[in-house]
Amino acid sequence: MLNKIVQSPQDASDISAQNPLLEKKGIMQLFLWGLVAAILVWSWQGAEMNPYALWEYRGNMAEMLGDFFPPNFHDWNLYVDEMLTTIQIAIWGTLLSVILAIPFGILSSENIAPWWLYQPIRRFMDACRAINEIVFAMLFVVAVGLGPFAGVLALFVHTTGVLAKLFAEAVEAIEEGPVEGVRATGASGLQEVIFGVIPQVLPLWISYSLYRFESNVRSATVVGMVGAGGIGVLLWENIRGFMFKETCAIMIIIIVSVTLLDMLSQKLRKQFI
């Protein structure tokens, strides 16, 4: 079939009209679109989608929005203090996960590790990634008590799962040649990785780590809600107490800090690529 097309490309459109293979492809495509539509309808019902509620309760929402303003910055130094704790949680949560993601990432790469090693490690990393930071935070609060350290551990476990996968994908995309060049000198397996693999993936690894740091700062603002330290504790207390003017002040501080850190890390990332 393909040979025929190759010989006379100018007739390709004619051939495709009578080509049963292509007709079959068209039916297949139609079926796929139908499937997508069915999934959308099914999820609409499950999620109890009700856009009318937005209109129905517009009065309530306007009233609540009004309660947020003007923001109350009376305790601003407390908020900034807790925001700094949040960033500190993110720094250690990210650093620990980067350190662990390096061996786990390398050992879950198909082109480095044998299947009996990378398969179990990958599944383990899947498990770390599958559970949200908040869930880990709740568990670690039980294990190590209330406070920022529980938040660090929660971010650390989840981020290790994420970074190991991203690191492994970078390793699987390397050029094989330089690694073979190192191998041919009589290097050990570890040395192949150190000299042949890591220099190739380092820019990507740094970029992924900084990106995860950004998103860990965002996550660290939430883990406090379950008692794992940082600004989330204050946020949760104020929302529960219907103190929306204070809540608004805290949210503004979060937005400003996260934006500043994003800009900083973007600058850093550009240095390494």
Partner 1 sequence: MIKLSTLKINIDVNRLASNSGTKAIEAKSVRKTFGNNTAVAGVDLDVQAGDMVALIGSSGSGKSTLLRMIAGLINTDKNEQGSIKVANKVIQANGKLDKNVRKNRSSIAFIFQQFNLVRRLSVQTNVLIGLLGEIPRWRGSLCWFTKEEKQRALAALERVGLNSFAEQRASTLSGGQQQRVAIARSLLQDADVIVADEPIASLDPRSAKRVMDILSDINKQDGKTVVVSLHQVDYAKAYCRRIVGLANGEVKIDLSADALNDEDLVELYGTEKDEIDFGVSLSQSENEFVSEGAAVPALARA
Which residues sit at the interface with partner 1, rule CB under 8 A? 5-7, 9, 12-13, 16-17, 19, 22, 177-178, 180-191, 194-196, 199-200, 202-203
Q: Judged by CB, which is closer to partner 1: 199, or 241? A: 199
Question: How many beta carbons lie within 10 A of that of residue 142, not counting itself?
Answer: 11
Q: Judged by CB, which is closer to partner 1: 49, or 194? A: 194
CB of 83 to partner 1, least distance (A): 37
Q: Judged by CB, which is closer to partner 1: 71, or 203? A: 203
CB of 202 to partner 1, least distance (A): 7
CB of 258 to partner 1, least distance (A): 32
Angle between helices 148-172 and 198-223 (to 10 degrees): 150
Q: Judged by CB, which is closer to partner 1: 28, or 40? A: 28
CB of 23 to partner 1, least distance (A): 10
CB of 32 to partner 1, least distance (A): 17
Q: Judged by CB, which is closer to partner 1: 192, or 246? A: 192
**Torsion angle of C-alpha atoms 14, 20, 25, 31, degrees rounded to 10:** 130
CB of 194 to partner 1, least distance (A): 6
Q: Judged by CB, which is closer to partner 1: 81, or 180? A: 180
Tell the burial category of 250 from Cβ atoms under 10 Å away from its Cβ (0-12, 13-18, 19+).
buried
Of 92, 24, 107, 85, nearest to 233 by C-alpha is 85
Q: Are 76 and 245 in contact (CB under 8 A)?
A: no
Q: Are 86 and 231 in contact (CB under 8 A)?
A: yes
Q: Judged by CB, which is closer to partner 1: 140, or 167? A: 167
Q: Judged by CB, which is closer to partner 1: 59, or 177? A: 177
Distance between CA atoms of residues 155 and 220, nearest Å:
8
Written as six digits, the tokens of 35 are 């499937």
Of 228, 210, 79, 207, nearest to 142 by C-alpha is 228
CB of 109 to partner 1, least distance (A): 17
CB of 223 to partner 1, least distance (A): 37
